[in-house]
Amino acid sequence: MAGATRPSRVCPFVLAVTLVATACAGGGAQPTAAPAKPPEATKPAATTAPPAASPAASPAASPAASPAASPAALQRIGGSVSVLGTWGGSEQESFLAMVKPFEDQTGVKIEYEGTRDLNAILTTRVQGGNPPDVAGLPGPGQMAEFARAGKLVDLSSVLDQSAVKEQYSEDWLKLGSVDGKQTGIFIKAALKGPIWYNVKELPKVSGGSTPKSWEELSALSQKIAAPGATPWCVGLGSGAASGWPGTDWIEDIVLRQAGPDKYDQWWQGTLTWSSPEIKAAWQTWGQIVGNEKMVFGGRQAILATNFQEAGNPLFSTPPRCYLHHQGSFITDFFVKANPNLKPIEDFNFFPFPDIDPRYAGAVEVGGDLFGMFRDTPQARALLKYLTTPDAQAIWVKRGGALSPNKRVSLDTYPDQISRQSAQALISAKTVRFDASDLMPEAMNNAFFKGILDFVQEPGSLDSVLADLDRVQKDAYKR
């Protein structure tokens, strides 16, 4: 695991505009993996051979391009695959729906296990010699640690390279590779940073237009707060990963306030936390979370509320808040809490506004990365299947997910909102991946904690940043 932390230094991560099919499904954030049982495989050899896929790929350019893509190509091999991931609730249901056709056609049983403490569970199982067959990886940073420790199988022999290269943009592939080896592949993506609002309520206070710049957004917040209402809903709770929704805020602000270059230096560990650029981002966020009048319930509520339910007060009558910042996956939770809500009619989003006009048009994405810890025929078949447009379209259609696979067309998206998210990703000038997921785990952990400490005591910003600097000094060294 030495050196694990700088996985993507190599890759510039501009996830190019090519990402056509962006259904971001990023549930809470991190990818999960599915461990497969050791091969009880009846005919192990069967799966290894890329079925009909590759031939079909080139000429027809049909969606069946990747190896396991077309259902007919799946061979009946039986056995089982263990999968470990972060998804629970409706996201877990969507994942299970996604692999259902695979199970039906191959007879391979998927043994899915979800946990919010993915990194710890995965480390324990890998160290204990009992890794899942396939697992969602917490992020490119941790993937690199596992890859350098030799725990991950190189996927270049597993996935049909020509199909994958054709269907995924190079940037997505780079994020999944370490030292030239493809050790992870994204199976879904999420747009970070949309700001959600209640379509029936916000115009009453905003006058109709959505903010295009940070000044306009601040002015809108002030305007809502003036008569005593609360503009924002924020919730940072997420079990062992509490704090991560705040990291998305800081990242969104850094990207638009300090620009993509500083953003890269920051997650790469060469720009300190106490540098003016990063400190300014915390202060900007502090205008919202540090002000009791800005957030429903104040700081106590920010810390005590789970991210899944944080946005619900948008829809109470009268609304207890008007704006909510969260990844594109959150619509799933809105609808689950209030089944009558309709996208566009009841809720919608505007993109996180530009802060410095020089960096206008930047967006942040997240994604769920999968890796293979045990090389079994079933695990190979599953990974191949998960990268196909057919498989990813299943989750996209269920909502809450964007697909990193270019072959999943915009028409697949179930509603206008997810199409807008996908569109936002495609039309962005600058795309950056979630910085905290790219940082070494020690840094990422400290970031989560720093977020909570800052919200609890906004006056302690300098000491929070000094702590983060201290962690930064040795987290990148290993």
Partner 1 sequence: MSDRLALAAGAVVGVPVVLVGYISIVEALLSFVPGGRRRALRPWLWLAPALACLLVFLAYPALATVYASFFGPTSERFVGLANYGYVFTDGTMLLSIRNNALWLVFFTGLSVSLGLLVAVLADRVPYETVAKSLIFLPMAISFVAAGVIWKFMYDYRPPGTPQTGTVNALLMGLVPGFEPQAWLINSPGNNLALIVAAVWVWTGFCMVVLSAALKGIPSELLEAARVDGANEWQVFGRIMLPMLGSTIAVVGTTMLITALKAFDIVYVMTNGNFGTEVIANRMYKEMFNVRDFGRASAIAVVLMVAIVPVLLFNLRRFKEQEATR
Please work out the total of residues on this chain that contact partner 1, with binding judged by CB under 8 A. 29
Q: Show the site string, 423-442: x = touches partner 1 by CB under 8 A, - = not.
A: ------------------xx
Kindly state the smallest distance separating residue 240's Cβ from partner 1, in Å: 5
* E strand segments, 52-148: 80-85, 109-114, 134-137
Q: Is the Cβ of residue 2 or residue 59 nearer to partner 1 in the bound state?
A: 2
Task: Kindly identify the residues of this chain, within the stretch 315-354, that bind partner 1 according to CB under 8 A.
Answer: 320
State yes or no: residue 456 binds partner 1 (CB under 8 A). Answer: yes
Task: Kindly identify the residues of this chain, within the stretch 395-424, that bind partner 1 according to CB under 8 A.
Answer: none
Q: Show the site string, 240-269: x = touches partner 1 by CB under 8 A, - = not.
A: x-xx--------------------------
Give every CB contact of residue 159 below 8 A, 6+ residues apart in sequence.
66, 67, 182, 185, 383, 384, 387
Share of the chain residues as helix, strand and coil, in percent rounded to the nearest 5 = 50, 15, 35
Q: Is the Cβ of residue 15 or residue 110 nearer to partner 1 in the bound state?
A: 110
Q: How far apart are CA 178 and CA 172, in angstroms?
A: 12
Q: How far apart are CA 139 and CA 434, in angstroms?
A: 9
Q: Is the Cβ of residue 145 or residue 277 nearer to partner 1 in the bound state?
A: 145
Q: Is the Cβ of residue 2 or residue 207 nearer to partner 1 in the bound state?
A: 2
Task: Kindly identify the residues of this chain, within the stretch 265-304, that bind partner 1 according to CB under 8 A.
Answer: 296-298, 300-301, 303-304
Task: Kindly identify the residues of this chain, within the stretch 140-179, that bind partner 1 according to CB under 8 A.
Answer: 145
Closest CA to 322 of 449, 454, 230: 230
State yes or no: residue 1 binds partner 1 (CB under 8 A). Answer: yes
Give the C-alpha distances (Å, rounded to integers) separating 319 from 91, 198, 315. 27, 9, 6
Give the C-alpha distances (Å, rounded to integers) separating 283 from 39, 216, 250, 289, 397. 53, 17, 10, 10, 39
- Cα within 13 Å of Cα(366), Cβ side: 32
Kindly state the smallest distance separating residue 414's Cβ from partner 1, in Å: 31
Cα end-to-end span (Å), the chain = 8
Kindly state the smallest distance separating residue 144's Cβ from partner 1, in Å: 12
State yes or no: residue 445 binds partner 1 (CB under 8 A). Answer: yes
Q: Please choose, out of 60-68, 119-127, 340-348, 427-435, the segment that lies near partner 1 by the rule CB under 8 A.
A: 119-127
Q: How far apart are CA 185 and CA 34, in angstroms?
A: 13
| DSSP symbol at 213 | B
Kindly state the smallest distance separating residue 9's Cβ from partner 1, in Å: 19
- 254: its two tokens: 């850094």
Partners of 111 in the beta sheet? Answer: 82
State yes or no: residue 2 binds partner 1 (CB under 8 A). Answer: yes
DSSP 231-300: -EE---B-GGGTTHHHHHHHHHHHHHHT-HHHHHHHHHT-S-TTSHHHHHHHHHHHHHHT-TTTBTTHHH
> Contacting partner 1 (CB under 8 A), which of 43, 239, 270, 429?
239
Q: Is the Cβ of residue 376 or residue 405 nearer to partner 1 in the bound state?
A: 376
Task: Kindly identify the residues of this chain, within the stretch 6-35, that bind partner 1 according to CB under 8 A.
Answer: none
Q: Is the Cβ of residue 183 or residue 405 nearer to partner 1 in the bound state?
A: 183
Task: Kindly identify the residues of this chain, within the stretch 67-106, that bind partner 1 according to CB under 8 A.
Answer: none
Q: How many CB atoms lie within 10 A of CB 12?
A: 14
Residues that bind partner 1 (CB under 8 A): 1-2, 119-121, 123-124, 145, 239-240, 242-243, 296-298, 300-301, 303-304, 313, 320, 441-442, 445, 449, 452, 456, 467, 478
